[in-house]
A and B are shown apart, each in its own frame.
Chain A
Amino acid sequence: MAGWWGERMLSAAAMRLVQKSGVDTARLPASTPAADDAALVAAALRSEPRAEEQLYRRHAPAVLAIATRLLGRSAEADDVAQDTFVIAFERLSQLERPAQFRGWVVRIAVSQVHRRFRRRKLLRALGLDRGQDDASLAKLALPSLDAESRADLARIDAALQRLPAPERVAFVLRHVEGYEHAEAAALCDCSLATIKRRLQRAEAGVRALSAPRGHEPRDGSGPQAASQLNRARRRTGEGAP
């Protein structure tokens, strides 16, 4: 309870800043979090007590979730989340658009994930990578998901394991997190063309590696994995529009 409550709490200082910025809090629609972020960033820069914590509690769940789904390992994801917020708070004064704190902090997290993948590759080359994928997609599946869909997710996990890290990250950002191409490119700090290229390779790789024998994509417009999961959603009623 304290977690979600804490992140929803606006300090009086934040209220003041929102008011000073000319934003009518009473009429704010869903954009309130961004306005609150700007206020909280300003408060944190003034070293106001708890401003950093409020920023953290507001965005940590998202950062933890993305890092976990990108890395597939909860312990490493915790490390990434920790590093991300330490870096973010140290560089807070460099943030040009405080209202975009969420995007900025997720970008830091993605760059930290890239570092983790490079480290993992090195450890693997040395035979020292003993980490367990305890948070793979299949292991994160909702309890209501049927066995067949879980098997699909496990196949995607296996395919992702074999992809180079940049392609894996691109695939997860696009197809697991749902970011658009431009957003994924910004998060990976690369061009739109680069992210599309990576995605194309990743999708081809996942399609080839995750498809059960004899099952090729029907139209070739999307990854096999997504088709499988769409079928799974229809069966379970999850994520219905």
Chain B
Amino acid sequence: MSTPLPPPLREVLRDPGDPRRVNAVWQRVQARRRPRARALRVALPALAAAVCALLIAIAPQLRHAVTLPSTPSSPTTAAGRVPADRQALSFANGAALHAIATGVEAQARVVSLSDGTRIALERDTRLVPRSVERELTALALERGRARFEVAPQGARRFEVSAGSLTVVVVGTAFTVTAAANETLVAVEHGRVRVHAPTGDTLLTAGQSSRWPELTPAASSATQPTPVPSAVDDSVARNPVADPPARTAVDDSRPDAETLLQLSDTARAEGRPQDAARALQRLLGLYPRDIRAPLAALTLARLQLDVLSRPRDAARNFQRALELGLPLALREDALAIRVRALHAAGDRAGSARAAEAYTRSYPNGRFAAEVQRWSSAP
């Protein structure tokens, strides 16, 4: 800021925005925002319930008023109630399944089904029901990317098709991406079986694979089948899983994007070990990716703050720095590496890291903390 007049007076004032105040205000911000979210959470199901009740009340009249297409009758229990897994799925509000889509500029959209299944559609995605019956729910992902968190289906099958693939699930969470020339399936937990023109493949938790969309000629000529690539090698060795089919096409290792997505999901679901494994794999497969330094930094943070592995954390802080961390984050990484080394019991390393920090940032923001960490017994 080019200030013609004297420099700002704040230079002689202490910073009043200390972390304790920041945390306290954040609690208040959350408290203010929560009631509205809670009100929505209460109001929407109540509204849905009211609509359902209204529909149930007027259904007999409607049945007389209009000629409905014949639908397969639902098996009922002795008490007249239909078991959940023997009913055709609908939206959570009771409406029949219909096509759902998001625009190019639209925000991501999450829809819930009557059995608790949740489907998150990213932007520019279209999902249409192909078959909604008691025994089968078949959806087709025409374009875009959608994440499915499928509730246990009991006797009912749940299928998602994309391009020439069909993903069959029982109870799991997975993501399907329908791109122009390929389809990507990534499994977060549970298992899915993928029917492709080239054969069937079983994907288990942490695995992902991509299938190129083949022209009929290419399909008959090469018969390629994807090779599932495991995010976690231990999962790949799972004896329960079917051995993956091997073919000439061997470019199906998860891309950086998929690994980041798996890491995000794992962190959001409180599975830091899985998140760390995905990030480690990203660093192993794509050390030159532009996101690798930030992945290393995130991994280091997980290892230090969540997984209590300070030695690994220190190594990954160093790795993040070597990979070319953005300048804005270098100071942070250098500083917290001191703490990681100290926590790992490496006093000499901690002192050296503190020296390195002080050399780079003689008046750094974390000078006091770095001094404290490196000198603590």
Tell me if B10 and A178 are in contact (CB < 8 A): yes
Among B3, B6, B327, which residue has its beta carbon within 8 angstroms of that of A28?
Answer: B327
Contact with A along B1-12 (1 / 0, CB 8 A): 111011111111
Q: In the complex, what residue of chain A is closest to B31 when comparing beta carbons?
A: A82
The complex places the Cα of A32 from the Cα of B23 at a distance, in Å, of: 24
In the assembled complex, which residues on chain A have CB atoms less than 8 Å from the CB atom of B297? 9-10
The complex places the Cα of A222 from the Cα of B293 at a distance, in Å, of: 47
A3-B23 in contact given A16-B260, A137-B9, A140-B16 (Cβ < 8 Å): yes
The complex places the Cα of A140 from the Cα of B13 at a distance, in Å, of: 5
> In the complex, what's the smallest C-beta–C-beta distance from B166 to chain A, in angstroms?
28
Tell me if B16 and A69 are in contact (CB < 8 A): yes
**Segment at the A interface, from B136-144, B241-249, B328-336, B345-353:** B328-336
The complex places the Cα of A10 from the Cα of B291 at a distance, in Å, of: 10
Tell me if B22 and A26 are in contact (CB < 8 A): no
Tell me if A15 and B33 are in contact (CB < 8 A): no
Tell me if B22 and A3 are in contact (CB < 8 A): yes
A56 CB-CB contact with B under 8 Å: yes
Tell me if B13 and A69 are in contact (CB < 8 A): yes
Tell me if B326 and A28 are in contact (CB < 8 A): yes
**Segment at the B interface, from A58-66, A112-120, A189-197:** A58-66
Tell me if A232 and B5 are in contact (CB < 8 A): no
In the assembled complex, which residues on chain A have CB atoms less than 8 Å from the CB atom of B268? 49
**Segment at the B interface, from A100-108, A141-149, A161-169:** A141-149
A12 CB-CB contact with B under 8 Å: yes
The complex places the Cα of A149 from the Cα of B13 at a distance, in Å, of: 11
Tell me if B3 and A178 are in contact (CB < 8 A): yes
In the assembled complex, which residues on chain B have CB atoms less than 8 Å from the CB atom of A174? 5
Chain A binding site: helix, strand, loop or mixed by DSSP? helix
B45 CB-CB contact with A under 8 Å: no
In the assembled complex, which residues on chain B have CB atoms less than 8 Å from the CB atom of A64? 16-17, 21-22, 25
Contact with B along A146-166 (1 / 0, CB 8 A): 000100010010000000000
Tell me if A177 and B8 are in contact (CB < 8 A): yes
Tell me if B293 and A25 are in contact (CB < 8 A): yes
In the assembled complex, which residues on chain B have CB atoms less than 8 Å from the CB atom of A222? 5-6
The complex places the Cα of A29 from the Cα of B24 at a distance, in Å, of: 32
Tell me if B9 and A60 are in contact (CB < 8 A): no
A68-B17 in contact given A10-B294, A16-B260, A178-B1 (Cβ < 8 Å): yes
B366 CB-CB contact with A under 8 Å: yes
In the assembled complex, which residues on chain B have CB atoms less than 8 Å from the CB atom of A233? 7, 11-12
Q: In the complex, what residue of chain B is closest to A226 when comparing beta carbons?
A: B6
The complex places the Cα of A1 from the Cα of B338 at a distance, in Å, of: 13
Tell me if A9 and B301 are in contact (CB < 8 A): yes
A8 CB-CB contact with B under 8 Å: yes
In the assembled complex, which residues on chain B have CB atoms less than 8 Å from the CB atom of A36? 328
A60-B25 in contact given A174-B5, A178-B1 (Cβ < 8 Å): yes
In the assembled complex, which residues on chain B have CB atoms less than 8 Å from the CB atom of A29? 327
Chain B binding site: helix, strand, loop or mixed by DSSP? helix
In the assembled complex, which residues on chain B have CB atoms less than 8 Å from the CB atom of A12? 260-261, 263-264, 291, 295, 298
In the assembled complex, which residues on chain B have CB atoms less than 8 Å from the CB atom of A236? 12
Tell me if A239 and B7 are in contact (CB < 8 A): yes
A200 CB-CB contact with B under 8 Å: no
> In the complex, what's the smallest C-beta–C-beta distance from A67 to chain B, in angstroms?
9
Tell me if B291 and A238 are in contact (CB < 8 A): no
In the assembled complex, which residues on chain A have CB atoms less than 8 Å from the CB atom of B323? 26
In the assembled complex, which residues on chain B have CB atoms less than 8 Å from the CB atom of A68? 16-17
Q: In the complex, what residue of chain B is closest to A238 when comparing beta carbons?
A: B12
A198 CB-CB contact with B under 8 Å: no
A40 CB-CB contact with B under 8 Å: no
Q: Please provide the chain B residues from 80 to 133 with a CB less than 8 Å away from any CB of chain A in the complex.
A: 107-108
Among B16, B324, B366, which residue has its beta carbon within 8 angstroms of that of A26?
Answer: B324
Tell me if A26 and B33 are in contact (CB < 8 A): no
B156 CB-CB contact with A under 8 Å: no
Q: Please provide the chain A residues from 66 to 97 with a CB less than 8 Å away from any CB of chain B in the complex.
A: 68-69, 74, 77-78, 81-82, 85-86, 89-90
Q: Please provide the chain A residues from 28 to 53 with a CB less than 8 Å away from any CB of chain B in the complex.
A: 28-30, 32-33, 36, 45-49, 53
> In the complex, what's the smallest C-beta–C-beta distance from A25 to chain B, in angstroms?
5
Tell me if B29 and A85 are in contact (CB < 8 A): yes
Among B1, B6, B24, which residue has its beta carbon within 8 angstroms of that of A229?
Answer: B6
A180 CB-CB contact with B under 8 Å: yes
A123 CB-CB contact with B under 8 Å: no
In the assembled complex, which residues on chain B have CB atoms less than 8 Å from the CB atom of A229? 6, 9, 12
B32 CB-CB contact with A under 8 Å: yes
A122 CB-CB contact with B under 8 Å: no
Q: Please provide the chain A residues from 165 to 217 with a CB less than 8 Å away from any CB of chain B in the complex.
A: 174-180, 183
> In the complex, what's the smallest C-beta–C-beta distance from B360 to chain A, in angstroms?
15
A32-B327 in contact given A24-B290, A78-B21, A180-B1 (Cβ < 8 Å): yes
The complex places the Cα of A6 from the Cα of B177 at a distance, in Å, of: 31
In the assembled complex, which residues on chain A have CB atoms less than 8 Å from the CB atom of B250? none
Tell me if B327 and A10 are in contact (CB < 8 A): no
List 27 A-B residue pairs with CB atoms under 8 Å apart, sorted by A's residue number. Answer: A1-B19, A1-B339, A10-B298, A12-B295, A25-B291, A25-B294, A28-B327, A28-B328, A46-B108, A47-B108, A48-B264, A56-B29, A60-B26, A61-B18, A65-B15, A65-B17, A68-B17, A78-B24, A86-B29, A177-B8, A180-B1, A223-B5, A225-B9, A226-B9, A229-B6, A229-B12, A230-B7
List the 4 shortest-distance A-B pairs measured between CB atoms, nearest first: A178-B8, A3-B19, A61-B17, A239-B11
List 14 extra interface pairs beyond A2-B19, A25-B294, A236-B12, CB under 8 A: A1-B19, A8-B329, A12-B298, A15-B295, A27-B324, A56-B29, A60-B26, A65-B16, A82-B29, A175-B6, A178-B8, A180-B3, A222-B6, A230-B7
